[in-house]
Amino acid sequence: MKLLTKTTLYFITLSLVVFFVGGVGLYEIMQNLIEKEVNSDLYNRIHFIFNEISQADTLQNVQFIATEPIEIKKVAAVGNPVPFELRDTVLYNKVNNAYMPYRSLSTVVKSGDSFYRIRIYKSLITSNYLIEKVALVIMLMLLLYLALTYFLNRYILGRVWADFFRSLKTMQDFSLESPKREPFKPSEVIEFNELNQVLKEMTDKLISDYEGVKEFTGNLFHEVQTPLSVIKNKTELLYQELSTEKQFQLAGSIFSSTNRLSDIIKSLGLLARIDKNQFSRKEPIDFIALINKNLELYRDMMESKNIRLEKNLIARPKKVMDPSLADILINNLIKNGVRHNIKDGFLRIRLTESEFEIANSGNNPQLPTNELFRQFTRGSEEGFMGIGLAIVQKIVHHYEMKIRYDYLDNQHQIEITF
């Protein structure tokens, strides 16, 4: 969830709770106030009526001083005191032609010798109306406030976090492969400046470490070639001096191990050079010719394993690459397909406008498929397996192509989408 979405969501949820509680509370308070007002008005009036009665000792005038409906009924004698009785009711209103809510207050008074029940009414219509309107206005105000604060919130948050997002973007664009990064812009927020500072220190350290490692490996690959040459050549010379089988076996082991080391260094050097962008030529590649050339290279190897070739080159993909890298890519894939094949197996190659697919029979790699592309992944009996595929993956990523590996029913399949 995005930072702004999350804060907004929190804000809205909390606001709604507050508004709901506040709204209900306010309504209750208003209701209460108005009810009290109505009641006290009713009591005032009834006391006024009592006053009238006690002064005039007659009910004659009572009807006339009432501005609102009043009922006076003669009742049987009752014992004192008669409690006041409040009641909500409806009365028919001729003007409006409808029943209207009223609150009535009734009691029994004694006028002369007779007892009369006096019931006075107060219309609730105005107070209900008032509550309704006030509630509506409050609701509208709240909604308006909510909308306003929502936008304000977003705006302010956006403003406040802008520097953060800028730093984030800078970090997202950061890549060790092309460390020409934008500097962090100073922010008015102290915490963001501190964050930027920490990030800057970390990336600086990363870059310098990475450069150091790159330089180290570059030098290593270069410097190691001469001693390797010396070991190889001296072993070749040693071969000429040896006589016993045991001596030859020992020297042979030295020679093949040196060759192997030389191959590993060669591959690692290649990976480092791709990283360093040393393959920058851009030429359209004739993949069909490239595939045929590399298949020819491995023909003897395939024949010695009796591997059946199924070649289906349908179209020529239009891909611009460094020709050396394209060659290395195809070479490594075909090599991989031949090398990890089984006797009397098959190698299937399919090339379309947008895809290169190579599949071969082979034993279960006994590895999670995503491990296969890592350097120095230990394969079964074949020694280093991953380095060739690590090169493939490096090239594929270098040109932002896609690669997919599948193993199903003793069949390895690698698919590259250009």
C-beta closer to another protein: residue 180 or 343? 343
The answer to whether 309 contacts another protein (rule: CB under 8 A) is no
3-state secondary structure 190-229: HHHHHHHHHHHHHHHHHHHHHHHHHHHHHHHHHHHHHHHH
C-beta closer to another protein: residue 180 or 282? 282
The answer to whether 117 contacts another protein (rule: CB under 8 A) is no
CA–CA separation, 88 vs 73, rounded Å? 19
C-beta closer to another protein: residue 159 or 308? 308
Residues 8-47 contacting another protein, CB under 8 A: none
Out of 108, 251, 329, 351, the only residue in the binding site for another protein (CB under 8 A) is 251
Residues 372-391 contacting another protein, CB under 8 A: 382-383, 388
The answer to whether 186 contacts another protein (rule: CB under 8 A) is no
CA–CA separation, 338 vs 295, rounded Å? 10
Tokens 């009734």 locate to: 106
Q: How many helices (H) and strands (E) does the chain have?
A: 9, 11
Both tokens assigned to 157: 């948050």
Out of 297, 314, 315, 320, the only residue in the binding site for another protein (CB under 8 A) is 297
C-alpha count within 13 angstroms, C-beta hemisphere, residue 104: 18
Print the binding letters for residues 227-246 with another protein: x by CB under 8 A, - otherwise. Answer: -xxx-xxxxxx-xx-x--x-
CA–CA separation, 32 vs 204, rounded Å? 68
The answer to whether 324 contacts another protein (rule: CB under 8 A) is yes
The answer to whether 255 contacts another protein (rule: CB under 8 A) is yes
Q: How far is the CB of 211 from another protein (least distance, A)?
A: 18
C-beta closer to another protein: residue 243 or 364? 243
Q: What is the DSSP string of 51-94?
A: HHHHHH-SSTTHHHH-SS-EEEEEE---PSPPPPEEEEEEEEET
Name, in order, each residue with C-beta under 8 angstroms of 114's C-beta and a sequence gap of 6 or more. 74
Q: How far is the CB of 6 from another protein (least distance, A)?
A: 51
Residue 100's beta-bridge partner residues?
91
Q: How far is the CB of 304 from another protein (least distance, A)?
A: 4
E strand or H helix at 361: strand 355-361
The answer to whether 259 contacts another protein (rule: CB under 8 A) is yes
- Overall residue count recorded for the chain in this entry: 418
C-alpha count within 13 angstroms, C-beta hemisphere, residue 388: 20
In 10 A of CB 333, how many CB atoms?
25
C-beta closer to another protein: residue 163 or 322? 322
Piece in contact with another protein (CB under 8 A), picked from 14-22, 78-86, 263-271, 356-364: 263-271
CA–CA separation, 232 vs 223, rounded Å? 15
Out of 102, 116, 121, 298, the only residue in the binding site for another protein (CB under 8 A) is 298
How far lies 337's CA from each of 50, 238, 302, 331, in Å?
113, 36, 10, 10
Q: How far is the CB of 214 from another protein (least distance, A)?
A: 14
Residues 328-367 contacting another protein, CB under 8 A: 331, 335, 339
Sign of the Cα pseudo-torsion (6, 8, 9, 11, in order): positive
Print the binding letters for residues 197-226 with another protein: x by CB under 8 A, - otherwise. Answer: ------------------------xx--xx
Q: How far is the CB of 218 from another protein (least distance, A)?
A: 9
Site residues (CB under 8 A) for another protein?
221-222, 225-226, 228-230, 232-237, 239-240, 242, 245, 248-249, 251-253, 255-256, 259-260, 262-263, 266, 269, 273, 278, 297-298, 300-301, 303-305, 324, 331, 335, 339, 382-383, 388
